[in-house]
Every structure is written in structure tokens, then in C-alpha cells.
Amino acid sequence: MQLVRIRTAQNVDIEYEVASIGDRIVAAVLDMVIVLLYVLAIILLWVFVATTFEPTFSEGFGVVLIIVTLVVPTMFYHLIFEVFNNGQSLGKKIRKIRVVKIDGSQPSIGSYILRWLLRLIEVDLMSGAVALVAILISGKGQRLGDMAAKTTVIRLIGHNLDDTIFTPIEAGYEPVFPQVSQLTGQDVSTIKEVLNVSTDRKTYSKETQQELLDKTKSSIQNRLDVQSDLPPQDFLSIVLKDYNAVKQ
């Protein structure tokens, strides 16, 4: 199992499992099927319109119609979905994998465009052979487009309320640290993820868990300009509850 260490905005390193070649191939096949189904649906729609309404199109308009409804959506499918669907094509979403920046930041539109441009060569023109070799030897699950854009593809754990920043709080709860309103959603997501890591004894060593907790507590204390004698796990749990309380 390949792991990639990604640094969050709080300078906390968290390891993610790199999407396997199998995951990426299955996602690519799913995307191909989705695109083919779209093409088939558009062709059937054209046939229905032509036989039912018998429209008269000029040759130029017909060419524009084909480009707008068929060529553009299929050619730019991966770029459109990765930009507007948080790094996931439909196939990636089904396989629960996602494009991320190696440094932990959100990929920019430029990063997605760079990945897409090189995909045309690696995957479309070379039938995926170049991409496969690059992924095998990169050590971080990166094809050439990922290397150029400084991205990779990671596996995601199934998301539910426990994987989000939501934390249930009792009625009448009074925040201990009202300064939590200064935190961003990304800050709180990192806290939640670190707390999840701290309970995963199978994947992470006790030393790694403690280091993550200590670093995160120190970073959050600096952000809030507070000092607490609470153990890191207790402190972060309270901050998480406080954030949910002030944002209600």
C-alpha cells in the first residue's frame, strides 16, 4: 500500500493512501462508459428530433450543434468535472478517489488544465501506457500530468457525519474558547481528521498519533492566542464542539 504524506494548512502532515492502479483503471473505465452513454443518448435525441419534427438546419448550424452537444462535453469531460466537482470525475467519485495537491492545498484551475492537457497524450494518444509506467515508478501514484501539476490521486474513506466537521453538542452548551470563530472550515476539518487518526490504532503508531495531536494543539493555540493545560485530544475535542456551537 503506497502512502503519500500531505501537509495541511496547519503544517500537520497526514498520510493518505494513494489510489491504486486498479482504482484508477476502474474509474477510467467507468468514465469511458459514462461518456459513451452520453454520446448514445445525444445521438438518439438527434434521431428522435429529426424523425419527429423534421427540422431544417443549415450545414453550418449543424456543425455547431455537433460541436456544442457532442465534441465539447466529451473532450472536456475530465477537466469540467475535476474543476467543478472537487477533483473528481464521475468515475473517481464512484471509486471514492480524488485529485489533490501534494502540499495539501486545493488544486488550482491551472493544475487541472495541466493534468488534462497531458492526459490527452498519456492516456488518449498512448492508450494509457505512458501513464501506467509513470504511476508505477513515481512512488506517489503520479502520472506525468500529476508530476507537472504537483498533484496525485488519493483514496477517500466513505464519508458520513463522523467524517465531517459536525459534532453533536448538548442544549445550552457554552463555548470554552469563543475565539474559535476565527478558525476556517479547513482548520476545523484538520482538527476532525487528526482526532480520527488519534483513534485509529491499526494504521498509525502511538508516536505518530501523539505527534499529530501535539502539533495540531500548538497550531490551534497560536491561531486562537490561547494557552490550555488540557491534553491535546481533550483540547481539540472542545475546540471542535465550540466551533459547532458558535456556528449554529
Separation of alpha carbons 147 and 21, rounded Å: 16
Q: What is the pLDDT of residue 38?
A: 95
Nearby residues of 184 by Cβ (< 8 Å), 6 or more positions away: 9
Q: How confident is the model at residue 51 (pLDDT cuts 50, 70, 90)?
A: confident
Please report, for residues 14, 113, 137, 165, the alpha-carbon distance to residue 21 in angstroms, rounded to integers and kept in the order given.
22, 22, 12, 30
Residue 98, exposed/middle/buried by CB under 10 A (0-12, 13-18, 19+)? buried
Separation of alpha carbons 230 and 159, rounded Å: 29
Q: What is the pLDDT of residue 7?
A: 61
Instruction: Name the least confident of 9-13, 31-35, 67-71, 190-194.
Output: 9-13
Share of the chain above pLDDT 90, in %: 37
> Mean pLDDT across the chain, nearest whole number?
83
Separation of alpha carbons 183 and 70, rounded Å: 44
Using the Cα atoms of residue 187, residue 189, residue 190 and residue 196 in order, give the sign of their dihedral.
Answer: positive
The per-residue b/e assignment along 24-55, b for 16 or more CB within 10 angstroms, e otherwise, is bebbbebbeebbeeeeeebeeebeeeeeeeee
Does 54 have pLDDT greater than 90? no
Is the CB of residue 184 less than 8 Å from the CB of residue 105?
no
> pTM of the entire structure?
0.62
Give me 234's grid cell. Answer: 481533550
Is the CB of residue 18 less than 8 Å from the CB of residue 2?
yes
Is the CB of residue 228 less than 8 Å from the CB of residue 221?
yes
pLDDT for 130-182, tens place per residue?
A: 888 888 888 788 999 999 999 999 887 644 434 455 566 777 788 899 888 88
Cα 88 versus chain centre, distance: 6
Q: Which ranges of the chain would DSSP assign to H, the alpha helix?
A: 21-53, 59-66, 72-75, 77-84, 90-95, 109-119, 129-138, 144-149, 185-197, 206-224, 232-246
Q: How confident is the model at residue 245 (pLDDT cuts 50, 70, 90)?
A: confident
Separation of alpha carbons 140 and 19, rounded Å: 9
Q: How confident is the model at residue 246 (pLDDT cuts 50, 70, 90)?
A: confident
Is the CB of residue 108 less than 8 Å from the CB of residue 146?
no
Give me 241's grid cell. Answer: 464542539
The mean pLDDT of 115-122, rounded to a whole number, is: 93
Q: How confident is the model at residue 14 (pLDDT cuts 50, 70, 90)?
A: low
For residues 169 and 69, the model is more confident at: 69
Question: Which of left, alpha, beta for 141 (phi over 0: left; psi -120 to 50: alpha)?
Answer: left
Q: What is the pLDDT of residue 12?
A: 55
Q: Where are the domains of the chain?
A: 3-155, 161-246
Helix axes 21-53, 77-84, angle to 10 degrees: 110
